[in-house]
A and B are shown apart, each in its own frame.
Chain A
Amino acid sequence: MNLPADLKYTKEHEWIKLEGNIATIGVTEFAQSELGDIAWLEMPTVGDETRIGETFGTIEAVKTVEDLYAPLSGKISEINPGLLDSPEFVNDDPYGKGWIVKIEFSDETEIAKLLSADDYAGLIE
């Protein structure tokens, strides 16, 4: 299972890439394989506030539906426009073209709550 070491993870099977005060969020390889083919995503709007642990969107897969949980508090600074027409990017390239949103986070202390690749690997074994 591909788990890039430079990313952070959550137990809700999301990955987080930290750059300055911006966190790019997606779902893990494991999550996309469990979800199966994704039909579409319900996305927040740029500017929406996020609170750690609260839902900010939904992934509708053919067979199931899962909420997306904000890994950090802040506000949505960007959504991936490519997913509107091509939700399959999440299946095909979960750490690349399948990124979902960017959050401008407001509380750096929350970063300590995120998991390392090793911690996350232990969860999905």
Chain B
Amino acid sequence: MKRTPLYDSHLKAGGKMVEFAGYEMPVQYAGIGIVEEHRAVRERVGLFDVSHMGEFKVSGSDSLEFLQKMTLNDVSKLEVNQAQYSGICYEDGGMVDDLLVYKFEDHYMLVVNASNIEKDFDWFDSHKPEGVELINESDDTALLALQGKYSKDVLNKLTSLALDDIKYYRFEIGSVSGKEATVSRTGYTGELGFELYLKAEDALEVWNDLMSAGAEFDIKPTGLGARDTLRLEMCYPLYGNDIDQTTNPIEAGLGWITKLNKGDFIGSTLLRQIKENGPSKRLVAFEMERKAIPRHDYEILLDDKIIGKVTSGTFSPTLRIGIGLGYVRAGNHKPETEIKIDIRGRYESAKIIKPPFYKPE
């Protein structure tokens, strides 16, 4: 199993290590726990090691044309130092992955899910024309996510970059703790936050300096457990749970990144048909009406008939209720629809809501 450059410091901090996408990652830290880690991010600041994520460098004169063909969003709209949330589809419209596309002066960086690094690389590589160079930099790249309202104050102590000037989904290259870093105002939590792309060998020092700089704000190391509860409160889909090769971006609520009028791309023919005819199922967010927690694969019912399945579910540390995402038959997807979740044989009442569950300040 693979380890990130921060493996030893996770152990020292009491990280409970679990297998995730082939990596040994901290799911939570002893003496803190998912709920406290979650709260640290919502109320103050937390630091995640997400170095397991994959990074590909795409360069060459035909890069833009290549990425337009491969990804859903309109890459031509990207300015230098801007990032874009996007997706990749198969010809049948099923999703290969969701990803971030970063535009640098002379190249692009793609940030993909850890579980899909090999699959995505092979997919891009097999479609790559002569004029494009594709390099998998995942093993040489560490990624830290500093998230929460004090993230800017913490980071300010370690960098001369003007953080106020880095707007949402923009990034700058600069020095953090004396190490070269790509500082991106992005995240998976809904809070103000920054993601720092670093050389693998620099990650430990930057992690330690961020934790020290964050001490006055009671910063916590935050594991994958809190990452999941935070993203679910925001209704951000997770590849492998809420989206995969059997779901298309239209039904997953990712129509906003699927630019069907930008020209042809892989999957566009089918996605245009789906858009026109309407998808057969829809990803919805729902909250439980009494104490019950929906979990992956539980059935969703309406009038005693099964209309879909839960894809992600958890206890929401902020709302203190059970929340979930799941697919239901199109037509049954409207907010306020009263549904039931089959929780181990008990039909528990739930209500479809308009996402997200949590609205940041």
Contact = CB atoms under 8 A, between A and B. Distances in A.
A39 interface: yes
A62 B295 contact: no
Given A37-B28, A60-B292, A65-B293, 12 more contacts: A36-B28, A37-B36, A39-B293, A39-B322, A42-B291, A60-B291, A62-B34, A62-B35, A62-B317, A63-B314, A65-B344, A91-B33
B225 interface: yes
Interface residues of B, number: 21
A88 B317 CA distance: 13
B229 A62 contact: yes
B16 interface: yes
A60 B315 CA distance: 9
A83 to B, nearest CB: 12
B315 A39 contact: yes
Main secondary structure of the interface of B (DSSP, over half): mixed
Contacts, number: 43
Contact of B35 (A37, A60, A65): A37
Interface string B13-45: 000100000000001101001111000000000
Contacts of B27: 36, 63
B290 to A, nearest CB: 10
Contacts of A88: 35
B349 to A, nearest CB: 16
Interface residues of A, number: 14
A36 B293 contact: no
A36 B322 CA distance: 16
Contacts of A61: 315
A75 B225 CA distance: 37
A40 interface: yes
Nearest to A60: B293
A40 B28 contact: no
Contacts of B225: 36, 62-63
B44 to A, nearest CB: 18
Interface string A80-108: 00000000100100000000000000000
A39 B294 CA distance: 12
